[in-house]
Amino acid sequence: MTAIPETPVIGRFAPSPTGALHSGSLVAAVASYLMARQSGGQWLVRMDDLDTLRQIAGMADDILRTLETFDLFWDGAVSFQSKHLQEYQHYFDELKRTGSLYPCGCSRKEIARSASAPHLDDDCIPYPGSCRGGIKSDTNIRSWRVRVPDDAICFNDLRKGQICQHLPTVCGDFALRRGDGEFAYQLAVVVDDYLTGVTQVVRGEDLLASTPRQIFLQRLLGFRQPEYCHVPLVTDPDGAKLSKRDHLISHQLGSVNGQEQDLLLAVLRFLGQQPPQELVGYSCGTILEWGIAHFKPITHTVQSGTLPF
C-alpha cells in the first residue's frame, strides 16, 4: 500500500468539451481521482473550454454524466476556463509590465519556414526569435510571446522520473496570447491551477512535453509548482494515440449493458494495479474505495498500450 502523503493534495481533472470522454481520458481521470483521494485530498473538475471553435454543444454535460456513471464525484463546483478571462488578463499584464513579453508579427507559415523541423516530442515549431528585438512598424501583432531563458527546465515526474527540457531548442519564445486577444492554453492552465490551489497534476503522457513551459511560467509568476504525474496513453492496436472519435465512453456504455464496473477494473489494471477477482460484480463506488486504499505508484514500467475491454 502506498504511503499517504503528509499533506492532502488538491488534484484536478481538466477535459476539453470538444468531444465525449474517451477511454484514455478515463484513465487520467481515475488516476488523478485515486491519487488525490488516497491522500485525503480534494479532486476538482475543470472544463478547458478556451477553444470555442472546436467545442461541441452538450459535451461538457456528457463528460460530467460519464464521470458520475463511474462514481467519480468531484469537490465543489465545476469551473470553466471561459469564465476566467479577467484573471488571465491580470497575469498577462503583470508579465508585460515586467518586460517578459514582446509582440510578434510572424505567421505560423513564416515560423515553419525558418525552423529546421518541429521538435520530435511535441507539435511545437521552435520560434527563432525574429521579433525579440522589436516588431516592424508596419506589421500587425499576431501574438505576444514570453522570453525563455537559455537553460534547461527540470522537474521530477512521479512516473517518468527526472525530466529536463531546453526551451529555446524545443519551442523558443512561446505565445501566451494571440493578436485577436485569445489566451493560449499554457498561460490559462497555469493561472487556473494556481487560483484553485492545485498541488498535483495527473494527466496523459501526451502533455509531458508542454510541462516545462508551464513550470517556467509558474516560476516567472511566483506560483507554487504542483507535482506532476504523466500516465501512459491508451492507444489503438497500431500504437497510435486515440483520437477524439475513438473509444467514446458514453457510447460504449450504451452497448455494454451496464458493465462500467468491468471497464473500471480494466482501467485499474492498465495503470499497473492488481484489483482482486472478488471485486467483479461490485459497484464502481466499491471498486474506487478499494483503489483508494490500495493504489500503488505508477512506475515507468507501466507503458502505453491498448485497454483490454
Output the domain CATH number for residue 271: 3.40.50.620
Residue 198 sits in the same domain as residue 280: yes
Residue 71 lies in a domain: yes
Question: Is residue 161 helix, strand or coil?
Answer: strand
Residue 196 sits in the same domain as residue 278: yes
Residue 160 sits in the same domain as residue 202: no
C-alpha span between 299 and 2 (Å, rounded): 12
Residue 74 sits in the same domain as residue 157: no
C-alpha span between 248 and 251 (Å, rounded): 5
Counting every residue written for the chain, the total comes to: 309
DSSP letters, 179-191, are TTSPBPHHHHHHH
Range of the domain at 182: 99-186
Last residue of a domain, one of 162, 186, 210: 186
C-alpha span between 56 and 16 (Å, rounded): 10
In this structure, what are the phi and psi dihedrals at residue 134, rounded to the nearest 5 degrees?
135, 150
User: For the segment 143-155, what is each residue's pLDDT rounded down to a tens digit?
Assistant: 999 999 999 999 9
Residue 201 sits in the same domain as residue 152: no
In degrees, rounded to 5, the angle at the alpha carbon of residue 233 between the alpha carbons of residues 199 and 70 is 70
> Of 169 and 258, which is predicted with more confidence?
169
Output the domain CATH number for residue 161: 3.90.800.10
C-alpha span between 55 and 60 (Å, rounded): 9
C-alpha span between 272 and 294 (Å, rounded): 12
DSSP letters, 72-135, are -PPSSPPEEGGG-HHHHHHHHHHHHHTT-EEEE---HHHHHHHSS---TTSSPPPP--TTTT--
Q: Which long-range contacts (CB under 8 A, 24 or more apart) does 270-276 make?
A: 270/27, 270/232, 270/234, 270/302, 270/305, 270/307, 270/308, 271/27, 271/30, 271/31, 271/231, 271/232, 271/298, 271/302, 272/296, 272/298, 272/299, 272/301, 272/302
Residue 231 lies in a domain: yes
The 3-class SS string of 262-298 reads HHHHHHHHHCCCCCCHHHCCCCHHHHHHHHHHHCCCC
Residue 77 sits in the same domain as residue 200: yes
Give mean pLDDT, residues 44-59: 91
Residue 21 lies in a domain: yes
Residue 305 lies in a domain: no
Residue 215 sits in the same domain as residue 288: yes
Residue 2 lies in a domain: no
| Beta carbons of 121 and 151 less than 8 angstroms apart | no
Residue 181 sits in the same domain as residue 48: no
Q: Give the percent of the chain with pLDDT over 90.
A: 74
Last residue of a domain, one of 186, 220, 255: 186
C-alpha span between 147 and 174 (Å, rounded): 8
Give mean pLDDT, residues 50-65: 90
For residue 118, what pLDDT is reported? 46
Give mean pLDDT, residues 19-23: 89
Residue 91 lies in a domain: no
Residue 274 sits in the same domain as residue 287: yes
User: For the segment 80-107, what is each residue's pLDDT rounded down to a tens digit?
Assistant: 999 999 999 999 999 999 999 999 999 8
The total number of structural domains that make up the chain: 2
Residue 196 sits in the same domain as residue 181: no
Residue 172 lies in a domain: yes
For residue 309, what pLDDT is reported? 65
Last residue of a domain, one of 186, 203, 235: 186
User: For the segment 186-217, what is each residue's pLDDT rounded down to a tens digit?
Assistant: 999 999 999 999 999 999 999 999 999 999 99
Residue 289 sits in the same domain as residue 192: yes
Residue 168 sits in the same domain as residue 195: no
Residue 104 lies in a domain: yes
3-state helix, strand, coil in the chain (%, to 5): 35, 15, 45
